[in-house]
Amino acid sequence: MAKKRIIQAINEALVEEMTRDERVILFGEDVEISLFGDTRGLSQRFGPSRIRNTPISETLITGMALGAAAAGHRVVAHMMFANFTYTGFDSIANQAAKLRYMTGGQARLPVTYVAAYGGGRSIAAHHSDTPYPLLMNLGGIRVAVPATPEDAKGLMKSCIRSDSPSFFLEAGGRGGEMGEVPDGDYVTPWGQAAVRCTGGDVTVVAIGSMVKLAMVAAEVLRNEHSIHVEVIDPRTLVPLDEACILSSVEKTGRLVLVDESRDSCSAASHIAAIVADKAFGSLRAPIRRVTVPDVAMPYAPNLERLVMPSVERIVATIQQLKDSRP
């Protein structure tokens, strides 16, 4: 076990998987120079037959990824920013998400789409979307949203080894965050949430980069207000560990969802609907969501901070919920 940055953990997973399986190839925008650091050193180590820069054409990247996967490669398609995925979305939504079903499982499509999501870096609307709600709705794409270096490595390995197409979404600008990473080979399982801290007063389901904020809020609430929060990190949104979330809500009777996507049709809204359907009788207060308003992400840092979830918003929401009468 050693402490590593998230971006180091992702890079380590890529190196190990490419060493383990020569069918793994990686291509995308600027992957040879590695602007983010996640593909650093791969070009020198594995050469141009397995690591390639592509033109700035997302339609090309997603189409080539699909074809290469169908031909027997295990493909990592680096899209850089999640917003860029929209340009190449036809191959993802109309082909990758559907072909396994349409061929009765005969077509294997081991494609891992890698993209950085989210705000907090003041790089404006075209680079700051959080698109996992859109991906969740496709019906045939697995979605991994790691919050820690350990899960970043384990989920990258799970994505690459899957025979179904997967999205690996890394929180933009948070690659330097540190955490313990186990030694040796391991994978993080699909559809198995992690309980990051236990508590009996309120359940908080926080997605991806929001886990860190939720943990800080939980500490503030425990130390300053004697409110004990249970923080759940789903780790994967497709498949989603409903059982873990429902079990926690049945214990606490209260639910707050912290989600960096826009509020309408968000992951938070979907999870809220599941809990309302399956654990309504356990709720002692309304479900609350801490999300981004239905606006484009502002460029101005002060406005960006205004729309993003924050520790202060999470604390205030939980206080109001705890004070509400059943």
* Section 39-60 average pLDDT: 96
CATH number for the domain running over 2-181: 3.40.50.970
How far apart are the C-alpha atoms of 57 and 65, rounded to whole Å?
A: 12
Contacts of 161 (CB under 8 A, 6+ apart): 17, 74, 110, 187
Which burial class, exposed, middle or buried, applies to 176 when counting CB atoms under 10 A from its CB (0-12, 13-18, 19+)? exposed
What's the pLDDT at 120? Answer: 86
Share of the chain above pLDDT 70, in %: 99
Buried b (16+ CB within 10 A) or exposed e, 41-54: ebbeebeeebbeeb
Give the pairing of strands 24-28 and 194-197: unpaired
Identity of residue 97: A
127 is annotated as an active-site residue: yes
Compute, in degrees rounded to 10, the torsion defined by CA atoms 133, 134, 136, 142: -120
Residues of the chain with CATH 3.40.50.970: 2-181
Residues of the chain with CATH 3.40.50.920: 194-323
Q: What is the pTM of this model?
A: 0.96
How far apart are the C-alpha atoms of 34 and 11, rounded to whole Å?
A: 10
Longest CA–CA separation in the chain, Å: 63
Residue 326: band (very low, low, confident or very high) from pLDDT cuts 50, 70, 90: low
Give the pairing of strands 229-233 and 194-197: antiparallel
CATH number for the domain running over 194-323: 3.40.50.920
Indicate which residue of 78, 127, 228, 270 is catalytic: 127
What's the pLDDT at 35? Answer: 85
How far apart are the C-alpha atoms of 91 and 93, rounded to whole Å?
A: 6
Kindly report, residue by residue over 136-152, the tens digit of the pLDDT. Answer: 999 999 999 999 999 99
